[in-house]
Every structure is written in C-alpha cells, then in structure tokens.
Chain A
Amino acid sequence: AQSVTQPDIHITVSEGASLELRCNYSYGATPYLFWYVQSPGQGLQLLLKYFSGDTLVQGIKGFEAEFKRSQSSFNLRKPSVHWSDAAEYFCAVGAGGYNKLIFGAGTRLAVHP
C-alpha cells in the first residue's frame, strides 16, 4: 500500500540556518511527489512537485527538493530559513493518478529569531 513517512514531527531552527525536512514514500510505480505548506487560517499551498525528469526540483519561496529513487526519499531543503517559514509542512504522494494524494503526518517547523 502507498504511504508517506515524515520522520520528524517537530523541528526548530534558527533564522538564517539551513533546513532539511525528510520524506520517505512507499509506492510501487514511479511516484508523483509533492510538498505542501499549511499555515493557520490558510489552505495548503503547493511548494513544489515532482512528476518526472530532473530529480532536483525548484519550488516557491526558495525551497527545493530532491527525488532519490534508491532511497525512496523526497527531502525538502532551504538554504536560509526566514521567520515566516514557520508552519506545518506536508509531503504527499499521488496515488491512483497524481491528483489523489496520500499525505504524510506533517512536520511542524518553528523558527527562532
């Protein structure tokens, strides 16, 4: 069965520090992979997605993610975190078509000034 694992429930980083959020997936075929961010009072916003091609994907707000098939991973990175990046981040895999999403449990990011 398809599944997504985000090992880190909560991460705290200092403003300006680099960030990596981990995501591992289980899926039989080539996965469609997504990262979303959820802020209070706002809908989930798509940061980036991977369908095929270049395994390093650039997204909005300075985020990038790298698809590693051998590790079944799709980790999200940002070189320098801003206080406004504090939010909940969800990794998702498209199952049965890229629109039907299975989400990980989420990682809550806190940013210290």
Chain B
Amino acid sequence: GAVVSQHPSWVICKSGTSVKIECRSLDFQATTMFWYRQFPKQSLMLMATSNEGSKATYEQGVEKDKFLINHASLTLSTLTVTSAHPEDSSFYICSAIKRGGPGDTQYFGPGTRLTVL
C-alpha cells in the first residue's frame, strides 16, 4: 500500500524556538496533504489543508503565522511550528491524498511527537 512518512518521529525543543516537521509521500504524488493535531487520548483535529504550489488553507482557530505550511513539491509538505511554546506540545499527524480509482484514498503518516520545554 501507499506509504507516508514523517520526520522526525519525535522532537524536543526549547520554548521560543521553531521546529520543522516533514511529511513525505514515498510512492505516490500528492497534490493535497492535510495536517492534524492530536492531543493525548483525544481525537485528531484538522489544522490545515496543504496544496502543492499554493497557499495552505487553515481551519478556523488555527494560527497561520504560528503553524507555517509549505507544500513545495508533489511528495513533500512541511509544517513549521514557529516560536514554539509548551502549549504547542502535541502529536502532529499528516496525511496525503492518493488520487485515482473509485474515490481518493487518504494515507496517514505515523505522526511526530513535539514536546516544548
């Protein structure tokens, strides 16, 4: 099946620094990727839609200046958490849309655990 990877799988950073998380579709091209945030023992919350070659679309309540998304190629989207604070600590998950067949299929990455000290 299709594979989506994330790097790093976990990161610890100091408050005030920026952290970049990569999401790659390894064996297919994805014009659309999504970024989710998952709090402990809670559901996934959609943060933004990442479209290759255009600006990301953010969900209501998500600070676009805090969470910078770049979808520079058909296989890579990045999420940069700028000036991270402890409340940004969370599990970040990306997904990529593989088009074709009877409906697109959304494949998820394994997630990145961010801890801000």
Show the binding face of A for B, using Cβ within 8 Å: 36, 41-46, 49, 51, 90, 98-106
Contacts and interface: CB of A to CB of B under 8 A. Distances in A.
Contacts of B102: 51
Interface in B14-38: 32, 34
Interface in B95-116: 95, 97, 102-111
Contacts of B105: 46
A44 B97 CA distance: 13
Nearest to A9: B41
A105 B110 contact: no
Given A99-B97, A100-B34, A100-B49, A43 B107 contact: yes
A interface, over-half SS? loop
B interface, over-half SS? strand
A110 to B, nearest CB: 14
B46 A100 contact: yes
Contact of B44 (A45, A46, A90, A99): A90
B93 A44 contact: yes
B108 A44 contact: yes
A99 B4 CA distance: 16
Nearest to A43: B108
